[in-house]
Structure 1
Amino acid sequence: MEHLRKPDWLKIDIGTNARYTETKQIVDTHKLHTICTSGRCPNLGECWGRGTATFMIGGNICTRACKFCNTLSGKPLPLDLSEPAQVAESVRLMKLRHAVITSVDRDDLEDLGAHHWAQTIETVRQVNPQTTIEALIPDFQGRTELVQLLIEAHPEILSHNVETVRRLTPEVRSVARYDTSLAVLRQIAENGIKSKSSIMVGLGETPEEVEETMDDLLANGCKRLTIGQYLQPSRKHYPVKEYVTPEQFRKYKETGMSKGFEMVESGPLVRSSYHAERHL
Structure 2
Amino acid sequence: MTNTKYGGQAVIEGVMFQSPRKMVTAIRRNDDSIDYFEMDRPQKDWVQKLKKIPILRGNVAIIESSIYGMKHMDFASERYERHPSDDMNIEAEKHEANKSKIVLSTVLIGILSFLLGKTLFTLIPVFIAEVFSGVVTSHAGQVALESFFKLILLLLYIYAISMTPMIKRLFQYHGAEHKVINTFEDNEPLTVENVQHHSRLHYRCGSSFILFTVLIGFIVYMFVPVDPFYVRILNRLALIPVVIGLSFEFLQFTNKVRHVPVLKWFGIPGLLLQLLTTKQPDHKQVEVAIASFNRLLRSVE
User: Where on the TM-score scale, by shorter chain, does this alignment land: which range?
Assistant: under 0.3
TM-score (norm 2): 0.25
TM-score (norm 1): 0.27
- Bigger proportion of residues as strand: 1
Higher relative contact order, structure no. (Cα contacts within 8 Å, ≥ 6 residues apart):
2
